[in-house]
Structure 1
């Protein structure tokens, strides 16, 4: 990790920005950074309205390592969605990295992040034990894929096939076929999960989105955990060095490194990482915005999405599961994308309020 940082910065003695949530990955990235280069460092932390406030813990970490903390307060997480989508050119709504990079450009041309820790070193502990309870060594690859998807309750809904209109051609078989290779092999069960995680959101969501934002804001990204050496190392060690089944603890090796840097005592047992409270976001802004844009949406008019599915859940306020909120916000992002790039009736400068 130190080699990755040194190779990217070289002899440049300019200021460096780092995204600091206070979690294992970002704290480790900061610890390594402070240990290997003398540059001035400033941290960027995000405080989302009506969400768990990660900034006090991040402030303690920044103080111990002698760096300045910049706190970005975001009242309405969805306000600048048109601008963010116009940059990444993809219909995603969960774009916290937009706020990080927007602030980073005013601090430095370098942005350090702890990307990759979850996927490479077993950070998604909330799904591992569930997966192991659903499958065994005799489960066939398709059964493992279906169980894997059941552990992603935030990302799909039971009636997902009803969301899509006639033009989409949605099929669960297509989804299963994409995932089968990660479970049709001789790897241990948890290593299969880690393989699927790495080849899923990391490669096809986080990295493409973040890379585009870095380019737009003129930033040079430094992700020490995602160096070639770290990827090679992480993919060739047993999962037992990453995840403890008994204590349900992940990122074992990364935590040991934090202890080496004497930073482990500041790490929360709660998973951190710029998380917005989706239910509160829905109640404060999401529901009204979805009603405004989805009740007469272009994605329905052009037969990509079914209005009947939207109608079932849009006003189901009291007991609406978070997975359905995520799907509705995903449709909002798709509608914004459609109006930006297909009908071209929306300006990127539009503020959702």
Structure 2
């Protein structure tokens, strides 16, 4: 929002950025929602020289890129040696991020990553720790009971808040707090957790990055399992009328919010930049030179992590003046993670994030670290299909709709009405559209 206050700022919405947002639920670097603004790629620096009164902008330089690579040969460290080195690096990463002259705590979800960070503080470093979680009443879709168990086991000073949120009452507030639209529905619980945590501390540790660096997402497991069976590949090819390549499996609703053909219908043809990115992602995912797990990790670390996850946490936490630190994204940890062999990340038939789980098991019961991953989102009880669709129609299909003026109005109407059909409703598709429309209404009002 600060940029828009600059005299002469060009606030034209970038049509390429709109297409990216529809595809991904965020705008990836180097694009931004504004045509006149570009973002630095992750792990990059830009130098501006002002010697002699002349301003010269140097080409951006990349100082780090997460590039998972399978080790060659059989003479490298053993699994146990890698696990011990990982322990030391995570321990040091956590120690550095405990430096603070203000109250410090940690988010705790009950999952592997946040539990490991908390265990490093209490078990490895012997420091007291306040932990924070939120839960949801009237549903089994909540991790706060897991978080409570972990906190009791580790002896933290645990705080939890049980909520019954109504997503549609908060959608306007979330959209208003975003400088750039971000359609990740977990923005909302992240904001609620940050607000609760800020009541006690000023700095919080999180477990962000563990899934990307060590291969923890369920979509990795599903794609690997699918590719592992020739019969499954053929069935998928028949069902989807597409090829059965890794890219076909991953660049599906598992990863993309809307499919390219849907985005093309909305935008009057898929923009060249977006088509080029899709082609690059397909090349990466289909490259047989590295294991598929490594290719998926590389793609997410380059796109999803800096495009959706970290902006979500940063924007929502800083709204309440809470600083969030991510030890697992320490560069020394990342450099070790990118050299991990496939066997450290994946143990067939279904175990993801193997080495990180094995490290966490040093401090916590093994069965806890192998529980079903729930993800940090609102429970289904927080969403009313009817109310959500009513709001979507009111905002998206009205004459005043900003999206209606920027996209193909008939295609937009068809998309909204498709959501109303039995079995077709997806909050993960409707929520980003609501956020985008509300954001555009504020941004284009001046």
TM-score bucket (shorter structure): 0.7 to 0.9
Q: Does 2:212 align with 1:109?
A: no
Match of 2:181 among 86, 91, 95: 91
Residue deviations 1:263-308 (CA, integer Å, cap 9, x gap) = 4343452112323245861426422321221221523442325343
Q: TM-score, normalised by structure 2?
A: 0.67
Q: TM-score, normalised by structure 1?
A: 0.83
State how 1:247-258 maps to structure 2 within 5 Å. 248-258=350-360
Q: Does 2:102 align with 1:22?
A: no
State how 1:329-340 maps to structure 2 within 5 Å. 329-340=431-442
Contact in 2 for aligned 1:29/1:114 (Cα 8 Å): yes
Name 2:92's counterpart in structure 1: 3
Q: Does 2:297 align with 1:194?
A: yes
State how 1:1-353 maps to structure 2 within 5 Å. 1-10=90-99, 12=101, 15-35=103-123, 36-47=125-136, 50=139, 52-66=141-155, 67-93=157-183, 94=185, 95=187, 96-131=189-224, 133-134=226-227, 143-150=245-252, 152=254, 155-157=257-259, 159-161=261-263, 163-166=265-268, 169=271, 173-180=275-282, 182-183=284-285, 184=287, 186-246=289-349, 248-267=350-369, 269-278=371-380, 281-283=383-385, 285-296=387-398, 297-314=400-417, 316-317=419-420, 319-321=422-424, 324-343=426-445
Partner Cα distance (2:202, 2:131) in 1: 12
Distance 1:11 1:315, change over 3 A: closer
User: 1:143 deviation in Å?
Assistant: 4.9
Structure 2, unaligned runs of 5 or more: 1-89, 230-243
Contact in 2 for aligned 1:18/1:43 (Cα 8 Å): yes
Distance 1:316 1:129, change over 3 A: closer
Name 2:84's counterpart in structure 1: none
Contact in 2 for aligned 1:110/1:222 (Cα 8 Å): yes
Distance 1:126 1:144, change over 3 A: closer
Partner Cα distance (2:258, 2:284) in 1: 19
Contact in 2 for aligned 1:48/1:73 (Cα 8 Å): yes
Instruction: Give the secondary structure class of the aligned counterpart of 1:38.
Output: coil
Residue deviations 1:108-138 (CA, integer Å, cap 9, x gap) = 11111110111111111344343563489xx
Contact in 1 for aligned 2:144/2:160 (Cα 8 Å): no
Partner Cα distance (1:10, 1:203) in 2: 24
Residue deviations 1:240-280 (CA, integer Å, cap 9, x gap) = 1111122x011111111121113434345211232324586
Structure 1 runs (4+) greater than 4 angstroms displaced = 48-51
Partner Cα distance (1:10, 1:171) in 2: 43
User: 1:336 deviation in Å?
Assistant: 0.7
Task: Between 227-236 and 31-40, report the one with greater CA deviation.
Answer: 31-40
Partner Cα distance (2:117, 2:263) in 1: 40
Partner Cα distance (2:154, 2:373) in 1: 21
User: 1:46 deviation in Å?
Assistant: 3.5
User: 1:55 deviation in Å?
Assistant: 1.5
User: 1:49 deviation in Å?
Assistant: 6.3
User: 1:54 deviation in Å?
Assistant: 1.6
Contact in 2 for aligned 1:16/1:111 (Cα 8 Å): yes
- State how many pairs are aligned: 338
Name 2:31's counterpart in structure 1: none
Structure (1 or 2) with the larger CA radius of gyration: 2
Distance 1:159 1:259, change over 3 A: same
Partner Cα distance (1:234, 1:337) in 2: 37
User: 1:41 deviation in Å?
Assistant: 0.9
